[in-house]
Amino acid sequence: MLRTHNCGELREGHIGQKVTLSGWAQAVRDKGGLIWIDIRDRYGITQLLIEDDGNAAAVLLETARKVGREFVLQATGEVIERAAKNPNIPTGNIELRLSDLEILNEAQTPPFKIEDETDGGDELRMKYRYLDIRRNPVREKLVLRHKIAQEVRRYLSDQDFIEVETPVLIKSTPEGARDFLVPSRMNPGEFYALPQSPQTFKQLLMVGGMDRYFQIVKCFRDEDLRADRQPEFTQIDCEMAFVDREDIINNFEGMMRHLFKMVKGIELPEFPRMEYADAMRDYGSDKPDTRFEMKFVDLNDVAQNKGFKVFDSAEIVLGICAKGCASYTRKQVDELTKWVQRPQIGAKGLVYVKCNEDGSFKSSVDKFYSQDDLKAWAEKAGAEAGDLLLVLSGELDTTRKQMCELRLEMGERLGLRNRQEFSPLWVVNFPMFEKDEETGHYHAMHHPFTSVLPEDAEILKTDRYNARANAYDMVINGVEVGGGSIRIHDKSDQADMFDALGFTPEEAQEQFGFLMNAFEYGAPPHGGIALGFDRLCSLFGGVDSIRDFIAFPKNTSGRDVMIESPSVADAQQLKDLSIQLDIKE
């Protein structure tokens, strides 16, 4: 046995016991007659004491003086009361007076400090990720991920869901993002694809009578990356048969409330519902952050036709009310203007109206609008003395997106986006289709297996591109945690959907014939949801990026800088796969 206890376990009740610990050397302090070594493992840290009292073996002192940072040690001794107690660690009342110390493995000096506050940058820590994982903040995030996964499995198993694994090497199908392709040596010139989701397989499981399925599953998308994206990510993928939308919502709202209670000790209230159209009108986003109000206000009727050409020519004039911000200086307003003019936002300018305490108004467009005009703006926006109106204008969708970003930024600056507060909701009744403005083609807003909202069934027949989908997204604090829909289960309805998306019958059969054929054998009504597991973990952990919740993540270029992947394949591998490279610079 290499240890009798872990490094976070010993307390005053262990005083007098002989124990053995194993771990890494966090720090060494040599004061001549006294040597202290902090030994660390996953569970905590314990102080070791070597005292030259004339009785200590010379070999023990010699060994202790060889120890460097991150050496792997085995330490045996007696637990004693610590003279100078440390209230900052659970083991701070005791220490271990050593009788034996063995260096199990020496270590090079690490390239960054293995401490909570490290001096290592992101790229350096990713290159040495196995060292980064030794740090408490990273390890705690992986432990949190484990706890969430265990509670998901516990909840769904209690609800009679069956965990079923689905294939990783599948057929490439058009699902919105690029597929990762895997060449087949046994079938020259043909390729597998890595799944963007197990969508069709979970529908086939419903045809197979599994009734309630779930899987915590890896998915893959070859797309540009950002803080909340990785080329490989994890979903909590679920499907249910013989259900309607309320069944799905109730089950997975219940699961989320269970997770918050068991993992964070928070009792969430019932999730409100919000129509997609209302979310876009009031927040400019289908995943609104409802921890704070600051809803959009349509100012067209009070701001247009007053001689200000910027507003008069705009499709929409939108405002938000920043409570208590009339005290903003000109410098602060100018900085906000520059912020919205950044290429990432793209606004041409920003109009403001200060609602002064004396009832007057000060605006950047004073020469075009009277005090009565500005008062009408304020009244429509619900602005009071001391508030600040911020106004953008332009094309509807573009302006909504810009105002959404400005609203979130103001929420951040005003401290309204507390990471320890949680505001969940369901966004429902999405459009069935979205139009690509460049090509003019329509594509499914969710995916091509989503059914129409029952009350829009007739609209689908007469004006199908204006029909709404029987779809729903779970949103928490402005993050789309998951989304799903009631599926199409009738072959003719699925064929109509493929037709609406521009597939010929032959193309639909080639891409999805296996699913269409399965529907010939009695597909039950079914629906489901997929929740982003990595995003859920980052939400629980109170950070924006999902990377620290993934043991070995990729960087923003999709590279694993630790193992140097992707890498060049050698000539023989390419020959075996019947692949010849023709790389254009």
* Among candidate residues 379, 401, 417, the one where a domain is terminated: 417
Nearest to 540 by CA among 254, 149, 86, 163: 149
The confidence score (pLDDT) of residue 186 equals 94
Q: Is 230 annotated as a binding residue?
A: yes
Q: Is 487 annotated as a binding residue?
A: yes
Q: Quick one: 538 and 511 in the same domain?
A: yes
- Residue 251 clears pLDDT 70, i.e. is over it: yes
Q: Quick one: 332 and 268 in the same domain?
A: no
Q: Is there a domain that residue 309 lies in?
A: yes
Our count of domains for the chain comes to: 3
Greater confidence, 367 or 440?
Answer: 367
Q: Is 153 annotated as a binding residue?
A: no
Q: Which domain holds residue 176?
A: 140-274+425-549
Average pLDDT score over residue span 546-557: 91
Q: Quick one: 413 and 430 in the same domain?
A: no
Q: Quick one: 326 and 204 in the same domain?
A: no
Share of the chain above pLDDT 90, in %: 84
**pLDDT band at residue 348 under the 50/70/90 scheme:** very high
Average pLDDT score over residue span 321-337: 95
**85-110 confidence digits (pLDDT tens):** 999 999 999 999 999 999 999 999 99
The confidence score (pLDDT) of residue 190 equals 94
Average pLDDT score over residue span 34-51: 95
Q: Is 422 annotated as a binding residue?
A: no
The confidence score (pLDDT) of residue 450 equals 93
Q: Is there a domain that residue 3 lies in?
A: no
The confidence score (pLDDT) of residue 139 equals 95
User: Which strand (E) or helix (H) includes residue 72?
Assistant: strand 72-81
- Strands (E) located in 223-315: 232-241, 273-275, 297-298
Nearest to 516 by CA among 503, 532, 534: 503
CATH number at 429 reads: 3.30.930.10
**pLDDT band at residue 162 under the 50/70/90 scheme:** very high
The confidence score (pLDDT) of residue 223 equals 86
Q: Quick one: 348 and 391 in the same domain?
A: yes
Q: Tokens at residue 297, please?
A: 């206000």
Q: How far is it, in rounded angstroms, from Cα 265 to Cα 306?
A: 55
**pLDDT band at residue 176 under the 50/70/90 scheme:** low
CATH number at 90 reads: 2.40.50.140
Q: Is there a domain that residue 25 lies in?
A: yes
Q: Is there a domain that residue 583 lies in?
A: no
**44-60 confidence digits (pLDDT tens):** 999 999 988 766 678 89
- Residue 13 clears pLDDT 90, i.e. is over it: yes
CA distances to 345, 558, 559, 566 from 224, in Å: 18, 8, 12, 15
Q: Is there a domain that residue 570 lies in?
A: no
**269-291 confidence digits (pLDDT tens):** 999 999 999 999 999 999 999 99
Q: Is there a domain that residue 223 lies in?
A: yes
Average pLDDT score over residue span 339-360: 95
Q: Is 456 annotated as a binding residue?
A: no
The residue whose two tokens read 């990783």 is 168
Q: Is 532 annotated as a binding residue?
A: yes
Residues in the chain: 585
**192-236 confidence digits (pLDDT tens):** 999 999 999 999 999 999 999 999 999 999 988 765 789 999 999
- Residue 131 clears pLDDT 70, i.e. is over it: yes
**511-535 confidence digits (pLDDT tens):** 888 998 999 999 999 999 999 999 9
Q: Quick one: 177 and 222 in the same domain?
A: yes
Q: Quick one: 442 and 515 in the same domain?
A: yes
Q: Is there a domain that residue 132 lies in?
A: no
Q: How far is it, in rounded angstroms, from Cα 367 to Cα 80?
A: 80
The confidence score (pLDDT) of residue 498 equals 87
Q: Is there a domain that residue 70 lies in?
A: yes
Q: Quick one: 336 and 264 in the same domain?
A: no
Q: Quick one: 299 and 262 in the same domain?
A: no
The confidence score (pLDDT) of residue 55 equals 63
CA distances to 330, 387, 569 from 572, in Å: 66, 70, 8
Q: Is 332 annotated as a binding residue?
A: no
Q: How far is it, in rounded angstroms, from Cα 504 to Cα 465?
A: 18
The confidence score (pLDDT) of residue 36 equals 96
Q: Quick one: 208 and 165 in the same domain?
A: yes
Q: Quick one: 265 and 152 in the same domain?
A: yes
Average pLDDT score over residue span 159-185: 90
The confidence score (pLDDT) of residue 175 equals 60
- Residue 485 clears pLDDT 80, i.e. is over it: yes
Greater confidence, 171 or 441?
Answer: 171
**pLDDT band at residue 331 under the 50/70/90 scheme:** very high
Q: Quick one: 491 and 515 in the same domain?
A: yes
Q: Is 535 annotated as a binding residue?
A: yes
The per-residue DSSP string of 365-426 comes to TTTTS-HHHHHHHHHHHT--TT-EEEEEEESHHHHHHHHHHHHHHHHHHTT---TT---EEE
Greater confidence, 536 or 176?
Answer: 536
User: Which strand (E) or helix (H) includes residue 278?
Assistant: helix 276-283
Average pLDDT score over residue span 313-336: 96
**395-416 confidence digits (pLDDT tens):** 999 999 999 999 999 999 999 9
The confidence score (pLDDT) of residue 519 equals 92
Q: Is 273 annotated as a binding residue?
A: no
Q: Is 533 annotated as a binding residue?
A: yes
